[in-house]
């Protein structure tokens, strides 16, 4: 029994060292600038037909890979704020492949629930409503580093005027 124990303990120790050291190489590459995180830019917003569950939106993000090697993103998480109120959050395991030195568009589907819309609606129903402030923040997980545990954050914000909002909604107001 002691011989078996003497063989297993070193093997487990070596396995643990490998699990700790190999992923750290990816983090070292990121922190030392050998691998740069992808750049994330807001590209547009799509508005879907409202349902009884809420209002579906699609936030289009342009991802740019500044590296000479392809990157694999293992999914993302997000949170949407309207007028400073958190109205939706979620996550996905949808992968995005970024070619070396290339770009890809990721569409983040968001469903704003009706109760959250009702909190924002009074401000939009004023005689001359101000622009609606929005913010979408979250992060993409780099699959090539620690199996997706390294997160690249993004934060986009802006304003939508009532006229712009009506133009987006026009197809649903017929």
Domain that holds residue 65: 37-172
Q: Are residues 15 and 74 in the same domain?
A: no
CA 63/CA 102 separation, integer angstroms: 8
Residues in the chain: 174
Say which residue the tokens 């690249």 belong to.
152
Q: Are residues 41 and 28 in the same domain?
A: no
Q: Are residues 154 and 121 in the same domain?
A: yes
pLDDT value, residue 169:
65
Structure tokens given for 120 = 């924002």
Q: Are residues 48 and 117 in the same domain?
A: yes
Q: Are residues 64 and 129 in the same domain?
A: yes
Say which residue the tokens 């958190």 belong to.
86
pLDDT value, residue 66:
94
Q: Are residues 103 and 168 in the same domain?
A: yes
Flag whether the pTM goes above 0.75.
Answer: no
Structure tokens given for 88 = 């939706």
Beta-bridged to residue 115, according to DSSP, are none
Say which residue the tokens 């469903």 belong to.
111
Q: Are residues 151 and 162 in the same domain?
A: yes
Q: Are residues 150 and 66 in the same domain?
A: yes
Q: Are residues 67 and 26 in the same domain?
A: no
Q: Are residues 95 and 129 in the same domain?
A: yes
Question: How many domains are there within the chain?
Answer: 2
pLDDT in tens for each of the 174 residues of the chain? 566 556 565 555 555 444 444 444 444 444 455 778 888 888 888 888 888 888 898 888 899 999 998 988 888 999 999 888 899 999 998 888 999 999 999 988 999 888 887 877 777 677 787 888 889 899 988 886 555 677 888 888 888 887 777 677 666 655
pLDDT value, residue 32:
53
pLDDT value, residue 2:
60
The enclosing H or E element of 168 equals helix 162-169
pLDDT value, residue 5:
54
């Amino acid at each position: 029994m002691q011989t078996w124990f003497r063989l297993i303990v070193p093997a487990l120790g070596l396995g643990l060292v490998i699990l700790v050291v190999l992923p750290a190489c990816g983090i070292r590459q990121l922190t030392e600038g050998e691998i740069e995180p992808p750049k994330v830019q807001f590209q547009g917003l799509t508005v879907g037909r409202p349902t009884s569950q809420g209002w579906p939106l699609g936030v289009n993000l342009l991802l740019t890979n500044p590296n000479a090697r392809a990157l694999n993103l293992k999914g993302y998480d997000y949170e949407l704020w309207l007028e400073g109120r958190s109205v939706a959050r979620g996550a996905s395991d949808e992968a995005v492949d970024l070619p070396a030195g290339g770009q890809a568009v990721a569409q983040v589907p968001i469903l704003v629930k009706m109760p959250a819309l009702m909190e924002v609606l009074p401000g939009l129903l004023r005689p001359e409503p101000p622009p609606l402030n929005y913010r979408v923040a979250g992060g993409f997980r780099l699959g090539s580093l620690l199996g997706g545990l390294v997160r690249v954050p993004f934060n986009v914000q802006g304003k939508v005027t009532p006229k712009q909002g009506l133009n987006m909604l026009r197809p649903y107001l017929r």
